[in-house]
Structure 1
Amino acid sequence: MSNISLIIEERPRNIGNFMVGRLLPFREKRMVGPFAFIDHMGPATLGAEENMDVPPHPHIGLSTLTFLFEGSIMHKDSLGTEVEINPGQVNWMTAGSGIVHSERTPQRLRGKEKKVHGLQIWVALPKHLENMHPAFHHVDEQDIPSWQEHGVSYKLIAGEAFGRKSPVPVYSTLYFIEIKSTTAQRISIGNQLYGESALYILEGSIQSEGHVYEPKHILVSKDSTLCEFDISANTTLYIFGGETFPEERFIYWNFVASSKEKIEEAKQRWLNQSFIPVPGETEFVPLPQQTSNLTQK
């Protein structure tokens, strides 16, 4: 019996400036542990006159994790944060009761050809922290736990696993792990994982139970403690998951909450423009008017 319970394929979504590959949520799997949303951005090449410009937009009830493979993004938020993120670094923004942020091509790259490639991830907050004060943390690449075993490179980007802990300040029990191998070999993680677990193949392939799985797919595990597979040469993949919450989660646009009432309150706050704005920015993304866009775990 295979340990894979569900295979999720990337679906194209237009976020305004370019197409992304939507991985979560999925109709048959709204969340994996506390992970509620994953977009694969790019790889995209933007011409000299093309830029990434995502105007200010709000979030509640979640933390965002931005991790780039190529390119640079300037993050600005309503806390007054202004940070450029580059490949290998982590931006961890916690919305809590509400935050507004923009994501744009840095000024130094405008007028030049540039690339954008990375992952945008949302991690739902535990119910008792949904109304916490917003916060932002930037973690440099050299501060992320990295190690090698049998020629395989590992990074613990966020959370706890393998007896290690990432400096990214998460608020629930989770893990987000990068695994890279230049050679074909067996990977046996065993009881190093916990809760719900899934695997995303960025490049290369893996083989499990006689089946070959290629990029742009998430494989959701039946049992996180039975994580074993054959990795092909020149493969990069990400394993993520953790403990689930006892309550359901609702998602509308950029809002995640344990109740519909919190979602409706956030919608009204954005319509009234009563969120604290991003300093120096006057643009904003309007609230979508599709009233049927409320989903739950």
Structure 2
Amino acid sequence: MSNIGLIIEERAADIGNFMVGRLLPFRQKRSVGPFVFIDHMGPAFLKDYQNLDVPPHPHIGLSTLTYLFEGAIMHRDSLGNALEIQPGAVNWMTAGKGVTHSERTPDYLRSTDKKLHGLQIWVALPKELEQIEPIFQHIEADDIPAWEENGVHFKLIAGEALGKKSPVAVYSDLYFLEIKTGNQAQINIGEHLFGESALYILEGSIEDAGTNFGPKQILIAKDAKLCSFKMAANSTIYIFGGNPFPEEHYIFWNFVSSDKERLQQAKELWKAKGFPKVIGDDGYVPLPDFYQ
């Protein structure tokens, strides 16, 4: 019997000058544990002067997780951080009561051909921590727990699972796990998972109860404890989830909060240009007409 309760197909979304595949939120599933938003960037081949340019924009009430498979992004924020993220590393920015940041192709790549491929993720903060001071953490690829079992490669990007703990400073019970195969393999990890759980297929395929599933799909589990499936050779998947919050969290543009009034306050503050400025980047993303 299948443990899959819902299948979410990747949908195209425009984030300015760059198209992404939107995975969460979905009309039938707004979140998985504390995970409220996932974009799949690329894979994109940016030729010559085509670049990623996401000017300064605000966030509240969430942590952003950036994880790249290919390419590089220059991150700048209102805390004074300015650094480049490359494949395998993690940028973890906790917005709390309010932060502004930009994401652009690094200067040395802007006039050359380049690739960009990765995941952009939002994790909601617990209600009691939504107004904390913003914090930024960068974790190098070599500091992310990675190991091999029976020819299957595991990496715990964030949270706790399979007896491991990531150095990413999360604020709730969650996990974000990468699994890669060289050869076909049976995966049985349900006893290590908890809360709500989902599986994203980046490449290759999995088989569950005799049905095959391919790339660009999120499979929502009925019960995390029953997580068992077969992975095809040369496949890469991501399993994510955790304990859901007791109260609903709302998304309004780039803002997440359990308090709708706080979302309105953040909107008005951004329109009045009252958020802190990004150091070293004077761009500005106006509030879209849809959210006015």
TM-score of the pair, normalised by structure 2: 0.99
Specify the alignment match of 1:101 in structure 2.
101
Alpha-carbon offset, residue 69 of structure 1: 0.1
Are positions 1:51 and 2:51 aligned together?
A: yes
Question: Secondary structure at the residue paired with 2:26?
Answer: coil
Q: Which amino acid aligns with 1:188?
A: N
Q: Check conservation: 2:76, 2:281, Cα contact below 8 A.
A: no
Match of residue 216 from structure 2: 216
Q: Any idea what SS the aligned residue of 2:88 has? A: coil
* Number of residues of Structure 1 aligned to a counterpart in Structure 2: 292
Deviations 1:192-248 (A, max 9, x none): 000000000000000001100000000000000100001000000000000000000
Report the counterpart of residue 285 of structure 2 in structure 1.
Answer: 285
1:289 deviation in Å?
A: 2.8
Contact 2:4–2:219 under 8 Å retained in 1: yes
Aligned residue for 1:6? 6
Percent same amino acid at aligned positions?
64
Q: Secondary structure at the match of 2:290?
A: coil
CA–CA distance in structure 2, aligned partners of residues 238 and 129 of structure 1: 27
| CA deviation after TM superposition for structure 1 residue 165, in Å | 0.5
**2:17 aligned partner:** 17
Q: Secondary structure at the match of 1:7?
A: strand
Q: Alignment RMSD, CA only?
A: 0.8
* Distance of 2:15 and 2:64 partners within structure 1: 16
Deviation at 1:281, TM superposition (A): 2.1
- Provide the rounded CA distance (Å) in 1 between the counterparts of 2:10 and 2:224: 22
* Equivalent residue, structure 2, for 1:86: 86
Uncovered stretches (5+) of structure 1, i.e. residues with no partner: 293-297
Matched position secondary structure for 2:97:
coil
- Please say if residues 253 and 291 of structure 2, whose CA atoms lie closer than 8 Å, have aligned partners that are also in contact: no
Unaligned runs of 5+ in 2: none
Write the letter of the residue equivalent to 2:24: L
CA distance in 2, matches of 1:18, 1:281: 19
Which residue of the partner structure matches residue 143 of structure 2? Answer: 143
| Cα distance in structure 2, aligned partners of 1:137 and 1:151 | 31
| 1:241 maps onto 2:215 in alignment | no
1:50-85 alpha-carbon deviations (Å, 9 max, x no partner)? 111110000000000000000000000000000100
CA distance in 2 between counterparts of 1:228 and 1:4 reads: 10
Letter in 2 for 1:15: I
Aligned to 1:191, the other structure's residue is in SS state: helix
Deviation at 1:158, TM superposition (A): 0.1
Alignment of 1:55-204 (within 5 A): 55-204=55-204
* Partner SS state of residue 290, structure 1: helix
- Secondary structure of the residue aligned to 2:284 is coil
User: For residues 288 and 259 of structure 1, what CA distance do their matches in structure 2 show?
Assistant: 21
Shift of 1:96: 0.2
Specify the alignment match of 2:225 in structure 1: 225
